[in-house]
Amino acid sequence: MQIHIYDNVTQVGQAAATLFTAQLLRKPDSVFGFATGSSPSVLYRQLIALRRAGILDFSSSVSFSLDEYCGIPISHPCSYRAFMQAELFDHINMKATYVPDGNAPDLAAECVRYDAQIAACGGIDMQLLGIGRNGHIAFNEPSGAFSYETHVTELTPSTIDANKRFFQGEEVPRKAISMGIGSIMASRELVMIATGSDKAQAVRYALEGDIDPMFPASIIRFHKVSTLFLDKAAAALL
């Protein structure tokens, strides 16, 4: 695992963008895995700028999002589909952007369908990850075992609390569909972004703690090609 520590968040975004840029230039039909939330914003802004400058053409590439809430319509601004449209998809020209359907009538079938769709696209070339304060990646919450496949998950109080900031007083959904650890680890390359002091403890456990499903992010240490971009605040406890 390569770890890069920068003075500020803008540098983190610029550095991460160099990897995504190289991937797209090398393989125009890349399959990207994207994360939602605040950590990737700095990267997404860079990718949008590169697209606007005519440097990147995403028209042959596709993306799979890591997760989606259950029980809120995709028109809700906090749905991960709406969030990703606003943060990235509306501003670049990807061929297709896949997000699990958190309102599918049969959620178990939707999970199977999502994994089949990833497989049909040949798997993920470059997967972006954030990290939860409790060590979750995607919505793989701490538990007794790693979940291999896409699955429906109950969000923990820590995750619900962390995501309240997006919901402005409304209830945060309790349930979500999440890509499993299997698809994440099968990605050909992993890129993680963590910034801010509230991620410092999680980053320390992920890199220095036991590899343990009670701290799901620890599994990425088993991946052969992974890069972690941190700002100084997130790296403070290493």
- Asked whether position 39 contacts ligand F6R by CB under 6 A, the answer is yes
Amino acid at the residue 78:
C
Give Dmax (Cα) for the chain: 47
Which of 35, 190, 206, 207 is close enough to bind ligand F6R by CB under 6 A?
A: 35
Q: Which one of 23, 30, 36, 147 is in contact with ligand F6R (CB under 6 A)?
A: 36
Query: How would DSSP label each residue in 12-54?
Result: HHHHHHHHHHHHHHH-TT-EEEE--SSTTHHHHHHHHHHHHTT
Question: Taking a C-beta distance cutoff of 8 angstroms, is the pair 100, 150 a contact?
Answer: yes
Q: Which residue among 141, 163, 223, 231 is the active-site one?
A: 141
Please check whether residue 190 is in contact with residue 127, taking contact to mean a CB–CB distance below 8 angstroms: yes
* Residue 223: active-site member: no
Name the minimum Å distance from CB 238 to ligand F6R. Answer: 18
**φ/ψ bin of 147: left (φ > 0), alpha (ψ from -120 to 50), beta (otherwise):** beta
The correct pick among 13, 102, 132, 173 for binding ligand F6R (CB under 6 A) is: 132
Sign of the Cα pseudo-torsion (7, 37, 32, 206, in order): positive
CB 138 to ligand F6R: min, Å = 4
Closer CB to ligand F6R, residue 13 or residue 130?
A: 130
> Does residue number 135 form part of the binding site for ligand F6R (CB under 6 A)?
no
84 binds ligand F6R (CB under 6 A): no
The single-letter DSSP state of residue 188 is S
3-class secondary-structure state, position 151: strand
Active site residue 67: yes
Q: Is residue 130 at the binding interface for ligand F6R, with CB under 6 A as the rule?
A: yes
Q: How far is the CB of 177 from ligand F6R (least distance, A)?
A: 11
CA contacts within 13 A on the Cβ side of 42: 20
Please identify which of the residues 68, 87, 110, 134 carries the catalytic annotation. Answer: 134
Residue 228 pairs with which residues in a beta bridge? 3, 192
Amino acid in the structure at residue 113: R
Site string for ligand F6R, 137-176 (x = CB under 6 A): xx--------------------------------------
Q: Any idea which residues carry the catalytic annotation?
A: 67, 134, 136, 141
Binding site for ligand F6R (CB under 6 A): 35-39, 66-67, 130-132, 136-138
